[in-house]
């Protein structure tokens, strides 16, 4: 195992003895644009179902690891630090690592995967099994407990639908960012609300409660001030934070806010439908069962205007076999379970060969 340029983060290992087989561990990483979580879990004996809760030895949190946002060098440095911290907290080291799954936003092409795999091979022992995916894979796996089959719909600040078949095919829809139209996302909902306020103020659109509600939320006195507020810091999360205001106005009966939410539901339905159709998850007659994992703040349950529930109703009409799942474990655990599933499959295959 080579000493990577950021090797100082591994100095904690120097006084540690080489771990024995009893201390073997797996690392799962969920790397996003806002934060990154790494969990360290023990090698679990094969069982169905898995223990509930899934045992976690340690958890560490760091910042952004999307190389498109912070650059490749900074992303790698943060990934190393968060993995080192998780191992430190678990009382383990890299010699004990048997499998790693990095599920990181910004990994959108095989060349992205290969670059990260090449780097990981310099960080971990040669016998460690290494897997690199988009962060949507961790989101799917936290609902399916590591099995890469089904469709995940993520709707938070951004949105993406991602699907896998049992034979390894995959497909995605949306997830191209706000400039290219992540409609249905938190950013998309809030941006449409801001647009509706400007249109109403100009006389180009209908009157809406969104005007007074958003201005009150932001402490502004006039819609004219929205222009300065918006472009002073057009970060995606800052805009998306206005979604609860839109939902409140819709609950109060505002037609414009309700239309924005229903349009968003339709966009999210279309993203799921595109993935399901491309992969044939529903079977030739459209009735086969498949997991539909729902992740993200936009889809969180709200008793009075539940966007996630509305999406489920629409998708169930298209695909009666869709099985909605709201995960009980976080995506980093899902990533670890992906690595565990591959590790156990390979171990069983080797056992049968010998």
- Whichever domain contains 51, its CATH number is 3.30.420.40
Other Cβ atoms closer than 10 A to 342: 18
Higher pLDDT, residue 134 or 7: 134
What average pLDDT does range 61-90 have in this prediction? 92
* Residue 80 within any structural domain of the chain: yes
The count of structural domains within the chain is 1
Cα–Cα distance for residue pair 57/332, rounded to 1 Å: 13
* Residue 131 within any structural domain of the chain: yes
What average pLDDT does range 164-185 have in this prediction? 88
- Whether 16 has a pLDDT exceeding 60, the answer reads no
- Whether 13 has a pLDDT exceeding 90, the answer reads no
What average pLDDT does range 167-185 have in this prediction? 88
Question: Could you read off the pLDDT of 203-259 as tens digits, one per residue?
Answer: 999 999 999 999 999 999 999 999 999 999 878 889 999 999 999 999 999 999 999
Q: Which domain holds residue 56?
A: 25-148+329-352
* Residue 29 within any structural domain of the chain: yes
pTM: 0.84
Cα–Cα distance for residue pair 334/139, rounded to 1 Å: 7
| pLDDT at residue 144, as a whole number | 95
| pLDDT at residue 329, as a whole number | 94
* Residue 127 within any structural domain of the chain: yes
Q: Name the CA dihedral angle for 89, 337, 66, 117, rounded to a multiple of 10 degrees.
A: 90
- Whether 56 has a pLDDT exceeding 50, the answer reads yes
Tokens of 164: 């896998």
Residue 17: band (very low, low, confident or very high) from pLDDT cuts 50, 70, 90 = low
* Residue 71 within any structural domain of the chain: yes
Residue 164: band (very low, low, confident or very high) from pLDDT cuts 50, 70, 90 = very high
* Residue 91 within any structural domain of the chain: yes
The DSSP H or E segment spanning 60 is strand 58-62
Q: How is residue 281 annotated by DSSP?
A: T
Query: Mean pLDDT score of the chain, rounded to an integer?
Result: 91
- Convert 179-212 to b/e letters by CB count within 10 Å (16 or more is b): eeebbbbbbbbbbbbbebbbebbeeeeeebbbbe
């Amino acid at each position: 195992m080579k000493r990577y340029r950021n090797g100082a983060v591994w100095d904690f290992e120097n006084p540690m003895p080489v771990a024995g087989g009893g201390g073997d561990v797996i690392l799962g990483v969920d790397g996003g644009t806002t934060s990154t979580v790494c969990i360290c879990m023990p090698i679990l004996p094969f069982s169905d179902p898995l223990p509930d809760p899934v045992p976690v030895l340690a958890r560490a949190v760091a910042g952004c690891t999307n190389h498109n946002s912070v650059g490749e060098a900074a992303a790698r440095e943060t990934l190393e630090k968060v993995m080192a911290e998780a191992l430190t907290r678990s009382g383990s080291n890299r010699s004990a690592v048997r499998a790693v799954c990095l599920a990181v936003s910004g990994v959108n092409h095989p060349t992205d995967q290969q670059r990260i795999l090449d780097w990981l091979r310099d960080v971990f022992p040669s016998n460690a099994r290494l897997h690199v995916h988009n962060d949507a894979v961790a989101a799917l796996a936290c609902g399916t407990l590591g099995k890469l089959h089904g469709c995940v719909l993520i709707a938070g600040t951004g949105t993406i639908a991602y699907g896998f078949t049992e034979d390894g095919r995959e497909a995605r829809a949306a997830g191209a960012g706000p400039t290219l139209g992540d409609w249905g996302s938190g950013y998309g909902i809030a941006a449409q609300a801001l647009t509706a306020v400007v249109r109403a103020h100009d006389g180009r659109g209908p009157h809406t409660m969104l005007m007074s509600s958003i201005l009150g939320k932001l402490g502004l006195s006039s819609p004219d001030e929205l222009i300065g507020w918006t472009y002073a810091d057009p970060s995606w999360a800052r805009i998306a934070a206005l979604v609860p205001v839109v939902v409140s106005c819709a609950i109060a009966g505002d037609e414009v806010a309700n239309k924005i939410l229903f349009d968003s539901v339709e966009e999210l339905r279309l993203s799921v439908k595109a993935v399901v159709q491309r992969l044939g998850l529903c079977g030739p007659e459209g009735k086969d069962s498949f997991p539909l994992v729902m992740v993200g703040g936009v889809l969180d349950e709200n008793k009075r205007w539940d966007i996630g529930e509305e999406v489920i109703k629409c998708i169930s009409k298209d695909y009666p076999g869709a099985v909605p799942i709201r995960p009980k474990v976080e995506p980093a655990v899902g990533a670890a379970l992906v690595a565990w599933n591959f590790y156990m499959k390979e171990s069983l295959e080797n056992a049968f060969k010998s």
